[in-house]
Amino acid sequence: MSDTLIEVKHLKKYFDVPSGQLHAVDDVSFKIEKKKTMGIVGESGCGKSTLGRTLIHLLESTDGSIFFEGRDVTRLNAKELNEFRHQVSIIFQDPYSSLNPRMTAEQMIAEALKITKRCKKDQIEEETRRIFDMVGLDRRFLKSYPHELDGGRRQRVGIGRALAINPKFIVCDEPVSALDVSIQAQILNLLMDLQEQVGLTYVFITHNMSVVRHISDNICVMYLGQLIETCPTKELFTTPLHPYTKALLSAIPSTDITKQKEQVLMKGELTSPINPVPGCRFYARCDHSCEKCLEPQSLQELLPEHFVSCCRARELNQL
């Protein structure tokens, strides 16, 4: 039996905007194995959240396929789509705005349980308490409203609500970015413990390279809607191959002053994903760009399980 839970093939999500089409996700392909975490990184606006939302059909894709346990979810009928939606969930960055301010923590989790009808009415109270325990929330907060909870506890409610439907797959969209640093580690550890206990598969979206290094098994690096490098996490940090990934990694400050590395500075600013021209989207900012980079680029496996979309990567990395 295949270990792949999700396989994305040539996925596109375009938005119509007054000046044309915004290519938020443009021809992205990758696989995620069951019980693993795929980190998605890249600068603000590169399409991370749009990709995450499209994967679970919160947004309808423009083109391409998303295979979930072998079935293409872009082609499901309404009933099948409803069943799919009960297997996938999302945790948002800001639990304060994603939680209903008029509902208590208990009511929000109970509501998610009712939607999926996965337990009988008389079991909802007990199941809600069990989920409270799973996410490390003291039961004295059952009747608390979001504004009565601190950031970490609010995010625990958000995680509890995502877990209530008993999903196989969760998109974690910057789930710790809005939290104090001291709380971030607790929430990351909780997500990793839950993955182990329940057998969850995650997509973990973040712009924080240290966080993604800690939590992901594999990483996708995105640039202006495109996937430019993907490989196992360890390898990305030891052997980055794309010039953009190298620049991204060089910007992480080191805690060891004897190991300060030279920062690769990127020229210019992120260009627009509206009506992009064919060719490498990093062209204008790359120190190594040449005429060949103006031709369409595609992901090539340059090392085992290590894919890069750069026509000069082999030569620049002496592979």
- Binding of residue 49 to ligand ATP (CB under 6 A): yes
Closest contact distance (angstroms) between CB of 162 and ligand ATP is 18
Number of residues that bind ligand ATP (CB under 6 A): 14
Q: In sequence order, what are the residues at sequence separation of 6 or more whose Cβ sits closer than 8 angstroms to the Cβ of residue 121?
A: none
- Among the listed ranges 44-52, 63-71, 81-89, 140-148, the one in contact with ligand ATP (CB under 6 A) is 44-52
Q: Are the CB atoms for 204 and 91 separated by under 8 Å?
A: no
Helices (H), ranges, the chain: 48-55, 78-85, 95-98, 105-116, 124-134, 151-164, 181-198, 209-215, 233-238, 243-250, 313-316
Q: What is the footprint of ligand ATP within residues 188-227 (CB under 6 A)?
A: 207
**45 vs 151, which CB is nearer to ligand ATP?**
45
Q: Residue 10 phi/psi, 5° resolution?
A: 50, 45
Choose among 229, 231, 194: nearest CA to 216.
231
C-beta of 116: minimal distance to ligand ATP in Å?
Answer: 27
Q: 104: part of which helix (H) or strand (E)?
A: none
24 binds ligand ATP (CB under 6 A): yes
Residue 204 CA to residue 136 CA, distance in Å, equals 21
Which structure tokens are listed for 3?
């270990």
Residue selected from 12, 15, 208, 237 as contacting ligand ATP according to rule CB under 6 A: 15
Q: Is 156 exposed, middle or buried (0-12, 13-18, 19+ CB in 10 A)?
A: buried
Burial class of residue 66 in the structure, from the number of CB atoms within 10 Å of its CB (0-12 exposed, 13-18 middle, 19+ buried): buried
CA distance 297 to 249: 22
Q: Minimum distance between the CB of residue 60 and ligand ATP, rounded to whole angstroms?
A: 12
Helices 151-164 & 105-116, crossing angle to 10 degrees?
20
Residue 276 found at the interface with ligand ATP (CB under 6 A) = no
Q: What SS3 class is residue 283? A: helix
Q: Residue 39, interface with ligand ATP (CB under 6 A)?
A: no
Give the closest residue to 272 by CA, choosing from 6, 22, 16, 20.
22
**Shortest approach of ligand ATP to residue 174 CB, angstroms?**
7
**Residues 66-85 interacting with ligand ATP (rule: CB under 6 A):** none
Task: Report the nearest approach of ligand ATP to the CB of residue 207 (Å).
Answer: 6
Q: Which is nearer to ligand ATP, 15 or 237 (CB)?
A: 15
The tokens for 78 are 């309404």
Binding mask 146-165 for ligand ATP (x = CB under 6 A): --------------------
Nearer to ligand ATP, 243 or 273 (CB): 273
Selected from 39, 152, 167, 273, the binder of ligand ATP by CB under 6 A is 273
Binds ligand ATP by CB under 6 A, chosen from 17, 115, 251, 265: 17
Closer by beta carbon to ligand ATP, 23 or else 306: 23
Residue number with CB closer to ligand ATP (190 or 220): 220
Q: Determine the interface stretch with ligand ATP among 41-49, 124-132, 151-159, 191-199 (rule: CB under 6 A).
A: 41-49
Smallest separation, CB 203 to ligand ATP (Å): 12
Binding site for ligand ATP (CB under 6 A): 15, 17, 22, 24, 42, 44-50, 207, 273
